[in-house]
Amino acid sequence: MNHILVVDDEKTIVDLVMLHLKLSGYACDYALDGEEAIRKIDASPFDLILLDIMLPKISGFELMNYIRFLKIPVIFLTAKANVKDRVAGLKLGAEDYLTKPFEMIELLARVETVLRRYNKLSLTFTLFDITLDTVSHTVKKAGEKLNLTAKEYDTLLLFLQNPNVALYRETIYEKVWGGTYMGDSRTVDLHVQRMRKKIGWEDKIVAVYKIGYRLEV
């Protein structure tokens, strides 16, 4: 399981980010200022750090000078949206830069991309009675292996990565099939209905009127 440190002085943002990371199969810790972040980085290994720039005691840019020598990938999360700050963060060695406010689905996608780039991505999702292992590419229900098609597996993974998020049919199609959605909802609808029946989640993956589907957690 990947271990991620969230460094931000806004506790509400920290709580929201950590909630979605944990639901997506990551282990998390947090720090509310730069000094606390250094103590936690020294005490425990992390696979990724989500780092705000405007921090008490030690700024994110100053902290980045410390982290860069530890070979830990960093994604900046900040309200500083101007190009100068973005370029400065990337020049210091950050892998990515996300401006507040941001959508959780985008943050999770960027986290996954950076971890994959560093060959660190190893996730097991466990929710209700389902366990999905991205390394073995298997899905189990109450310990019993399920035979899902590749598309069904990818669809289930997409929902597990985005709990409580209403996913548009366009999003599901483009993420799972990899093409441009042409407006035919029948392919997505039949596919989702077949997948959720196989895993017994008819009451958990629900239809959202005029949008698509949502995994209710």
Of the three residues 117, 150, 169, the one that is the final residue of a domain is: 117
Q: Round to whole Å and give the CA distance between 198 and 115.
A: 30
Shared-domain flag, residues 98 and 142: no
Query: How high is the pLDDT of residue 122?
Result: 62
Q: What does DSSP assign to residue 129?
A: T
R_g (Cα) of the chain, nearest Å: 19
Residue 71 CB neighbour total at 10 angstroms: 8
Q: What is the pLDDT along the chain (217 residues), one digit of tens a residue?
A: 688 999 999 999 999 999 999 888 788 999 999 999 999 999 888 999 999 988 999 999 899 888 988 889 999 988 876 777 777 777 777 888 898 888 998 999 999 899 888 877 667 888 899 999 887 889 999 999 999 999 999 999 999 888 888 999 999 998 898 877 777 778 899 999 999 999 999 999 999 998 999 999 8
Amino acid at 19: L
The number of domains in the chain is 2
The answer to whether residues 213 and 159 touch, using CB atoms and an 8 Å cutoff, is yes
Shared-domain flag, residues 211 and 132: yes
Which of 38, 23, 34 has its CA nearest to residue 56?
34
Q: Round to whole Å and give the CA distance between 172 and 99.
A: 24
Shared-domain flag, residues 111 and 22: yes
Shared-domain flag, residues 91 and 169: no
Q: pTM (2 decimals)?
A: 0.62
Shared-domain flag, residues 61 and 79: yes
Shared-domain flag, residues 53 and 132: no
Q: Which residues lie closer than 8 Å to 154 by C-beta, 6 or more apart?
A: 175, 176
Structural domain containing residue 68? 3-117
